[in-house]
Structure 1
């Protein structure tokens, strides 16, 4: 666990430069706008350890699978979001001496991520080997006001010398992914050119033939006077640059501006791509850096009005939740249903930038409550549009009759994960997608989604579960063999309680959804049943039969649902008895030792009890929580938030707070020693859930919002906004009361604990006294 980030309410601050922490900071200080993003790499040359990363949403490469033993059903590739052209590059030489923080003496180093206004700022003083001292301040952002644009202002001052400064402002597309399976570079050059002050570099991905045009206008000023730029003396493949040579006097100020446009063939025909880039860069440059920054600040002000959470009395917690919300809003904006949320967002390459079940299980609630309903809906439409691929994925594994198995990892709907215990066995992802449909409709009331998209997806998933179970004569029940649950420290096990529970629920919910569509839109129901060739009498009967006779492992002595068959055969050691020197297990133990242990990576049984909490009384939940939490090592970023929410429901306020702080500061404090390869974006949504569903106890029941709140003793109060069925609410909770302000033109009935209240129209604040 690291502790070098200063705790402030609106800024992430690093003071002092430690090269050993640089890759962690590159992740933490990442910026993006939903369409593109970049790690916090330095603009100037840096020969030290670094993970360069510039990413363009939706552009990927099918990197050939690398495994030692090929198995039937393996995907041929792993889809990866690509490290794209580096547009921020500056090579700076003072009398021929390169500015490189790896070889300089660095002082007064400060890096600030301004979350309120949406930009990254860095300052430092560098003493070169010759003794020359240079002061530098840089500021850059990816615009959420215009998501094709990014901008940089780099200012320097020679402090103790006069001499010649050579500036090379470049765009470099000769890059590769660190996670390339065969050390292959994925880009080919299409065109490069220099047109006045603007450089153009167009690259095409191998195999997938995506094209990206990066247009960059560079400008240089000395003491506010514009300087001439010329084409680069060095010309090479996938590289374009401009040069400037200045004679400086001590304390002269040099300002370098780079405004960039990143456009891809996802949004423009390849024949029109460069022309569109010309228009975009002209549009941005006509405004200039300062106007673009003002628009960025205004756009972020609007974002925070929708999604901010205010915590009074706990700066570390306040900083953490804003950091998580900031990164979520940088990663996904909901404008494009072709895009989704990679577990690392635009902050690193691990997990390939592809889509996992994290989106449905963890991210949907955040976007439902903090953005227009269309944003979350687009995440669901993304899966609907890939239904045909999900059916193909199932067919490759021997399933028939329109059964759909959604991929564990994907870009285009095709499975591209190549670890057998994940690809073939972690089939609970199907259930998360079905639950997200239910969750969306429960929250928005948009039942029309079923007839437009949802029912077809549910039918495909239900058909998969029907074929995936088998009848056990021994147990006289339906069983599911050879699966991996959310706890990936168990592979190839039988009757994972969570997976069996999800499957039975899916079968029942599909029938319920079909009946609803039949009632509300009989013509659409006829269309869907014809399209899917649904035999309602036979298939519904089969699904009901399976759901009613599903087997669920249970331990009578402990009174808990067993994670899977044979779990109690394991030596039952508690996490508190593990030596700290042996954790994290995935970095200290052999894999077979982990598999033979009782230790749990993340919520598994408890994940199911979180989804279906109304099905279990508090004592059942408490027994299972106490049993499994004591065996959970939380070595998945997705784990602490679920435990925090359940602990809050059980009124274990201390544990709820501890788990919140762990999930909220997972990356800021590098809890699991893995932040250097990117942030845990999807788990950040769990941080929001820990507060709103945990501490505030927010639920949707019978179409109404319900709150069962408490305030952690470390806080004075907390407050947040909610969008709910056309209303915008501001909720504030203190130790003794909850106040809800309705900013919309319609009244809303709300439940607080066991009482109902009507929050009137307009900006009237109504306060309800809480028991102390």
Structure 2
């Protein structure tokens, strides 16, 4: 939010409206990436910023930051950028985003990157939802483009091509199309998810950036393929360089040093992969698993709707306790929580200080059905 003016300048300098967040940022928010095409083409960063704000709202229900803190200006400014960036295609009757670099940096100036278009679609939809929430008028083109933005898909091979014209089997630098499954959560069948993972697993540069294999690990855990997931997770350790155990961008030690993106990917594989946590609008879903070499996995201090939860998994059971209830963020709601188990539908109330235990199975954490409706919609 502090760099909003710089993002506006970036958009204007490239001939677009709204906000264009930089690939490499000065303190002002203006683009300082030394390679021009990264700053101009790797525009999925805009959707990534909007995704962070969306997750923040779902996890806290803090509206103050959107009403008074300027976050709504960020979300709506990003939506305005997408409106000015798309073009309408008469032939297929979809909106296209042309001339981009996807997360896979071996390709540039491509059309309709599946990741870029999907994250743009979601940021436009969030702008509409936020406007409704704040009773603010939303330009109709936000919803129009969100509904009709092209998401590349091959119906015969049942997978997501990385971009228009991607030749199946071509080498890619890093995780890209598989990110549509996580973190974006784009709906797809298990068959399509598996195909995406298998197709791109075979062609991803083994010396690619460190965050790549953790995202494959998360994907395989979604499908219950724990051995494949562990194999990919172990690849991440090749990017940790001695003698001080510093993360490098590439497994051979080249690229950026103290590579935060790789560290973040590894942490996400643990937090979102083995817990199965997924941030939804009205709940936090889970699907537990632990690596075969561990007897127990603990995740402590998970913040959700004003609650701090400790989450412990062993080989058969999951134990959860609300350690404390606290309002950490502005108008964040502090809502009593419950667990709903998927197979049985059993509801387990989470009272502060009381540990509850249940057998491994998917489920969700949500506000107690017996309390008043906290979600402000």
TM-score, normalized by length of structure 2?
A: 0.84
* Whole-angstrom distance in 1 between the partners of 2:222 and 2:111: 30
Q: Is the 8 A contact 2:55 2:279 kept in 1?
A: no
Whether 2:354 is the aligned partner of 1:764: answer: yes
Determine if contact 1:417/1:423 at 8 Å carries over to the other structure.
Answer: yes
Note if contact 1:640-1:663 (Cα within 8 Å) is conserved in structure 2. yes
Q: Which runs of 5+ in 2 are unaligned?
A: 243-247, 326-334, 362-377
Specify whether residues 732 and 638 from structure 1 end up closer, same or farther in structure 2 by C-alpha distance, changes over 3 A only. Answer: same
- Residue 411 (str. 1) matches residue 26 (str. 2): yes
Instruction: Report the Cα offset of residue 411 of structure 1.
Output: 2.5
Aligned to 1:380: none
**Aligned partner (choices 338, 343, 356) of residue 749 of structure 1:** 338
Equivalent in the alignment of 1:684: 263
1:36-47 to 2 correspondences below 5 Å:
none
Partner of 1:729: helix, strand, or coil?
strand
**1:610 is matched with which residue: 175, 182, 192?**
182
Structure 1: 4+ residue segments shifted above 6 A: none
The residue number in structure 2 matching 1:730 is 310
Q: 1:432 to 1:676 in 2, by over 3 A?
A: closer
CA-atom RMSD, angstroms?
A: 2.2
Contact 2:339 2:350 (8 Å CA) reproduced: no
Kept in 2, the 8 Å contact 1:667–1:675? The answer is: no
**Aligned pair in 2 of structure 1 residues 658, 514: CA closer, same or farther (>3 Å)?**
same
Closer/same/farther in 2, CA of residues 469 and 511 from structure 1, 3 Å limit: same
Contact 1:729 1:742 in 2 (8 A): yes
Q: CA deviation at 1:486?
A: 0.4
- Structure 1 position 705, deviation (Å): 3.2
Deviations 1:661-712 (A, max 9, x none): 2335621476612269622123212222111210111223354333211122
1:515 CA drift (Å): 0.8
Please identify the structure whose Cα radius of gyration is greater: 1
CA distance in 1, matches of 2:216, 2:33: 28
The equivalent of 1:495 in structure 2 is 112
Deviates more, 1:651-660 or 1:673-682: 673-682
Distance 1:657 1:513, change over 3 A: same
Q: Distance in 1 between matches of 2:15 and 2:98?
A: 15
Relative distance call for 1:472 and 1:760 in structure 2 (3 A) is: closer
Instruction: State the alpha-carbon separation in 2 of the partners of residues 712 and 729 from structure 1.
Output: 21
Residue 653 (structure 1) aligned with residue 223 (structure 2): no
CA separation of 1:565 and 1:411: change in aligned 2, threshold 3 A: same
**5+ residue gaps, structure 1:** 1-383, 519-524, 526-535, 573-597
- The TM-score with structure 1 as length reference comes to 0.42
* Paired residues of 2:86 and 2:96 also in contact (CA < 8 A): yes
1:612 positional shift:
3.2
Q: Give the structure 1 partner of residue 370 of structure 2.
A: none
CA distance in structure 1 between the aligned counterparts of 2:354 and 2:237, rounded to whole angstroms:
32
Please say if 1:632 is aligned against 2:204: yes
Q: 1:677 to 1:617 in 2, by over 3 A?
A: closer
Question: Which position in structure 2 is the counterpart of 1:739?
Answer: 319
Give a deviation string over 1:200-247, Cα, whole Å, max 9, x none: xxxxxxxxxxxxxxxxxxxxxxxxxxxxxxxxxxxxxxxxxxxxxxxx
Contact 2:59 2:303 in 1 (8 A): no
For 2:142 and 2:271, locate their aligned partners in 1 and report how far apart those are by CA, in whole Å.
35
1:373-392 maps to which residues of 2 (within 5 A)?
A: 384-392=1-9
In the TM superposition, what whole-angstrom CA distance separates every residue of 1:95-144 from its partner, at most 9, and x where no partner exists? xxxxxxxxxxxxxxxxxxxxxxxxxxxxxxxxxxxxxxxxxxxxxxxxxx
2:80 aligns to what?
A: 463
Residue of structure 2 in register with 1:567 after alignment: 166
Aligned length: 341
Map 1:87-126 onto structure 2 (within 5 A): none
Cα deviations by residue, 1:270-290 (Å, 9 ceiling, x for unpaired): xxxxxxxxxxxxxxxxxxxxx
What secondary structure, in the 3-state scheme, does the structure 1 residue paired with 2:88 have? strand
Please give the alpha-carbon distance, in whole angstroms, between the structure 2 residues aligned to 1:492 and 1:738.
Answer: 47
- 1:758–1:497 CA distance, 2 compared to 1 (3 A): same
SS class of match (2:134): helix
Change (3 A) 1:698 1:553: closer
SS at match of 2:240: coil
Pairing 1:706–2:305 present: no
2:313 is paired with a residue whose SS is: strand
Q: SS in structure 2 opposite 1:730?
A: strand
* 2:45 paired with 1:472: no
- The answer as to whether partners of 2:239 and 2:253 remain within 8 angstroms in 1 is no
What residue number does 2:375 align with? Answer: none
